[in-house]
DNA sequence: ACAAAATAGTTAAGCGCTTTCTTTAATTAT
DNA sequence: ATAATTAAAGAAAGCGCTTAACTATTTTGT
């Protein structure tokens, strides 16, 4: 049978209250007593149940993390830094991949509420804001990662997507590109990148039109597919800006398969600076997010709000950084 | 305040026992009563606490997953399939990256025990078998993934590493390579790959020596580093077999930086067939593991053993598959 | 040496559920 | 219409812990 606090108390010849005190290092007691209890705990292989203690008003020491897809390198990389930081602070994390699907978001949110997680870190879109409102009004700590909540009173940590997009456009524009296609995801952060791009683009005096952008979900396959679409549309652009590395690499693969040379025939940019950008050939020019910093920050914020040391509602924005590698280059004369 | 079963009971004008019954769809009751309770639950935004119910002998519906590193694509990919399967069956999963460190393994194991996870899926090495024994003797369900427990009574699901290594060797040997370096990790599964390799190598009449293999941890950086070491040792081999894709890609990067052409100057193989193998250029020849199947299987096994429908102790082995891409080629005459 | 103050340890209620028994109400049979 | 049977709902104990309030034991002061 499972060994409980009663077993320990009995064997150590004390009350369960005393055992509880040694577990939590609270209250006063003789050193000898403490040691005796400790050794009995050891001897019996006793693991205090966090369920039981959570039930008595303590925390569950568990965080819920909702990401679109943990197998997407960007999210697995940030999940790793979150996990590390959380563990450092004594919390575990339950991860859920939502695929940005409303049903899954709803289901997982409910599940995690029932599990009484101490707080949520949310990197999934949550287009149904009511879901978020529900947890907000139950005053369960909540921090958005990678995007804003789209409602008051929720803090978020993210890169400055707009300026990342802006930088991307500038880079391409400086290289002489003007006919550019964008690949976008249907989430706010991606759209911000496109807006930023647009801003820079127009400030160079060009006209941005919506048909320059194609929206799809993040995956290698979709990257390829979109490239195909772009090709089919005829009128190949001289550069493509994908709103994340996964899509960009998909384009890269597709290009290779069709004999389109990158960057000779086509310049390509991604966003995120995941492992994929560093391992591809040519190396992917991309906009880096400070993944580690963001991961740490987001757990620090959630922990502070769990402990009521934080009740703000900020937008914490990090600066993106252009990582210039080898998929972009000056537009050669003959293509102008 | 948090809404509890009492609030619901009171508002619905029934006892908490009745509410409990509707929550769990047990016992008999009038349809009208059930509906009334249900609607009150809805109205009050009631989320039954799983902590409380777990305390009364039910399950926590939570699995503990220990992997070396969730940001390693192999593990994030398999974690995704595990997560999906688990959710399908109503369980959540807490993920922990151990970095194969003894302290972390110990810490996380203890933590998860305290959280009363229903079972463990372990893909980390656990060189200290006592840790595993502890959970085994507490009769907490446990399945090894990617490797064996190294003790009786524990079932494991993995690829047949030995035969994967064997296949890798054969492939290289058939291409005429004979001077081959291996990059190994310090975990049993990797060593099995090397043993398999060795077996094939020797069966071709060659002599395998231990100085052909260099051991390191899985990371891009280490792949590069090892390549450097190999170069420094002089006497460059004509092929390298890395025991996982991450290391192989590291080698690929390193090679590129030093102007070593792959596969012209050096053939290269990985293991796992992660996204990295498909996106690299040239595409990495590697040994594929059936990630999805394995992920599903491992949760099915753990669930069955949680429900006492399974108490076996099998080694469930999947067949690896050679994915021939472009980093390996026939050893050219002049290099023989 | 004795009261006052501080320290050590205990009692018991309560956290939010589940579940076994009981009791009460509704059906069916006679 | 009434007893026998079955269905519906409730009472209460218990899960493993925390904690406030309390009692017993020491220690300190004078």
Q: What is the pLDDT of residues A183-195, one digit of tens each?
A: 999 989 999 999 9
pLDDT of residue A308: 86
Rg (CA), chain A: 25
Cis peptide before A263 (omega within 30 of 0): yes
**Per-residue model confidence as pLDDT tens digits over A3-40:** 999 999 999 999 999 999 999 999 888 999 999 999 99
CA distance B112 to B71: 21
Length of chain A: 336
Residue A53: nearest nucleotide (C-alpha to C1') = D17
- What is the average pLDDT value for chain B, to the nearest integer? 93
For residues A276 and A249, is the Cβ–Cβ distance under 8 A?
yes
Q: Which residue of B has its CA nearest to A53?
A: B51
**DSSP 8-state code for residue A326:** S
Q: How confident is the model at residue B286 (pLDDT cuts 50, 70, 90)?
A: very high
- What is the average pLDDT value for chain A, to the nearest integer? 93
Q: How confident is the model at residue A335 (pLDDT cuts 50, 70, 90)?
A: very low
**DSSP 8-state code for residue A229:** H
Q: Which CA distances in Å does B99 have to A72, A80, A84, B218? A: 20, 11, 11, 10
**What mean pLDDT comes out for the span A149-176?**
94
Q: Which residue shows structure tokens 């450097």?
A: B228
How far away is chain A from the Cα of B117, in angstroms, using its nearest Cα? 10
Residues with CB under 7 A from strand D: A 2, 4-6, 16-17, 20-21, 23-24, 26, 48-49, 52-53, 55-58; B 13-18, 27-30, 32-34, 52, 55-57
pLDDT of residue B336: 40
Give the whole-number percent of chain B exceeding pLDDT 70. 99
Residue A96: Cβ-neighbour burial (10 angstroms; 0-12, 13-18, 19+): buried
pLDDT of residue B334: 53
Would the pLDDT of B281 be above 90?
no
Residues in Cβ contact with B175 at an 8 Å cutoff, skipping those fewer than 6 apart: B239, B267, B328, B329, B330, B331
Task: Give the H or E element holding residue A184.
Answer: strand A180-184
End-to-end CA distance of chain A: 78
Is A94 close to B62, i.e. CB distance below 8 A? yes
pLDDT of residue B310: 85
A5-46 against A161-289: fold identical:
no
pLDDT of residue B333: 58
Residue A102: Cβ-neighbour burial (10 angstroms; 0-12, 13-18, 19+): middle
Tokens describing residue A159:
């890169």
Domain extents for chain B? Answer: 5-46, 60-160+291-319, 161-289
Residue A168: Cβ-neighbour burial (10 angstroms; 0-12, 13-18, 19+): buried
CA distance A323 to A289: 10
A221 touches chain B (CB under 8 A): no
* CA angle at B129 for the pair B127 and B130, rounded to the nearest 5°: 130
CA distance A61 to A67: 20
Rounded to the nearest 10°, the torsion over CA A231, A232, A233, A234 is: 60
Q: Which CA distances in Å does A294 have to A59, A64, B70? A: 24, 17, 17
What is the distance in angstroms measured between the alpha-carbon CA of B335 and the sugar C1' of C28?
Answer: 96
**DSSP 8-state code for residue B208:** P
CA distance B77 to A28: 49
B116 touches chain A (CB under 8 A): yes
Is any atom of strand C within 7 angstroms of residue B336's beta carbon?
no
Q: Which residue shows structure tokens 């560093």?
A: A278
Residues in Cβ contact with A52 at an 8 Å cutoff, skipping those fewer than 6 apart: B55
CATH of domain A60-160+291-319: 3.40.50.2300
**What mean pLDDT comes out for the span A165-190?**
95
pLDDT of residue A25: 92
Q: How confident is the model at residue A333 (pLDDT cuts 50, 70, 90)?
A: low
**Per-residue model confidence as pLDDT tens digits over A203-226:** 999 999 999 999 999 999 999 999
Question: CA nearest B154: which of B127, B135, B177, B179?
Answer: B135
pLDDT of residue A228: 94
Q: How confident is the model at residue B335 (pLDDT cuts 50, 70, 90)?
A: very low
For residues A182 and A198, is the Cβ–Cβ distance under 8 A?
no
Fold of A5-46: 434 Repressor (Amino-terminal Domain) (1.10.260)
Q: Give the closest of B69, B115, B280 to A279, CB-based.
A: B280
For residues A114 and B50, is the Cβ–Cβ distance under 8 A?
yes
b/e burial code for range B187-216 (CB count within 10 A of at least 16 → b): bbbbbbbbbbbbbbbeeeeeebeeebbbbb
Residue A207: Cβ-neighbour burial (10 angstroms; 0-12, 13-18, 19+): exposed
CATH of domain B161-289: 3.40.50.2300
**Per-residue model confidence as pLDDT tens digits over A87-116:** 999 999 999 999 999 999 999 999 999 999
* Helical pair A245-257 and A220-232, crossing angle rounded to 10 deg: 60
Rounded to the nearest 10°, the torsion over CA B158, B136, B94, B76 is: -20
For residues B153 and B313, is the Cβ–Cβ distance under 8 A?
yes
Question: CA nearest B179: which of B118, B91, B238?
Answer: B238
**Per-residue model confidence as pLDDT tens digits over B48-100:** 999 999 999 889 999 999 999 999 999 999 999 999 999 999 999 999 999 99
Would the pLDDT of A329 be above 60?
yes
**What mean pLDDT comes out for the span B326-334?**
82
**What mean pLDDT comes out for the span A116-127?**
94
Tokens describing residue A231:
């090709």
**What mean pLDDT comes out for the span B305-310?**
90
**What DSSP string describes B221-274?**
HHHHHHHHHHHHTSS--SEEEESSHHHHHHHHHHHHHTT--TTTT-EEE-SB--
How far away is chain B from the Cα of A175, in angstroms, using its nearest Cα? 25
For residues B211 and B228, is the Cβ–Cβ distance under 8 A?
no
Listed by number, the residues of chain B in 46-85 with a beta carbon closer than 8 Å to a beta carbon of chain A are 47-52, 54-55, 60-62, 69-71, 73, 76-77, 79-80, 83-84
Q: Which CA distances in Å does B292 have to A113, A206, A274, B91, B148? A: 29, 47, 23, 18, 19
Would the pLDDT of A336 be above 80?
no
Tokens describing residue B22:
């509707």
**Per-residue model confidence as pLDDT tens digits over B112-166:** 999 999 999 999 989 898 999 999 989 899 999 998 888 888 999 999 999 999 9
């Amino acid at each position: 049978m499972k060994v409980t606090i009663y077993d320990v108390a009995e064997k150590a010849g004390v009350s369960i209250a005393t055992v509880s005190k040694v577990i939590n290092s609270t209250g006063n007691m003789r050193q000898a007593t403490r040691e005796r209890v400790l050794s009995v705990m050891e001897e019996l292989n006793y693991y205090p149940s966090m369920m039981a203690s959570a039930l008595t008003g303590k925390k569950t020491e568990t965080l819920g993390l909702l990401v679109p897809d943990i197998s997407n390198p960007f999210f697995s990389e940030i999940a790793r830094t979150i996990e590390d930081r959380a563990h450092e602070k004594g919390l575990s994390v339950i991860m859920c991949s939502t695929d940005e699907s409303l049903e899954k978001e709803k289901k997982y949110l409910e599940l995690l509420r029932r599990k009484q997680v101490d707080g949520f870190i949310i990197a999934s879109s949550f287009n149904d804001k009511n879901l978020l409102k529900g947890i907000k009004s139950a005053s369960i700590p909540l921090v958005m990662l990678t995007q804003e909540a789209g409602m008051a009173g929720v803090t978020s940590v993210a890169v400055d997507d707009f300026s990342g997009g802006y930088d991307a456009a500038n880079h391409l524009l400086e290289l002489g590109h003007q006919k550019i296609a964008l690949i976008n995801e249907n989430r706010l952060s991606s759209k911000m990148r496109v807006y930023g791009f647009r801003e820079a683009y127009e400030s160079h005096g060009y006209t941005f039109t919506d048909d320059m952008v194609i929206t799809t979900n993040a995956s290698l396959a979709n990257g390829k597919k979109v490239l195909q679409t772009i090709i089919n549309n005829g009128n190949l652009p001289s550069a493509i800006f994908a709103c994340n590395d996964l899509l960009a690499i998909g384009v890269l693969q597709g290009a290779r398969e069709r004999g389109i040379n990158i960057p000779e025939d086509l310049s390509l940019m991604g966003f995120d600076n995941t492992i994929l950008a560093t391992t591809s050939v040519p190396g992917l020019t991309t906009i880096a997010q400070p993944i580690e910093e963001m991961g740490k920050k987001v757990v620090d914020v959630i922990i502070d709000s769990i402990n009521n040391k934080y009740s703000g509602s900020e937008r914490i924005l990090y600066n993106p950084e252009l990582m210039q590698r080898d998929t972009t280059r000056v537009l050669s004369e003959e293509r102008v």
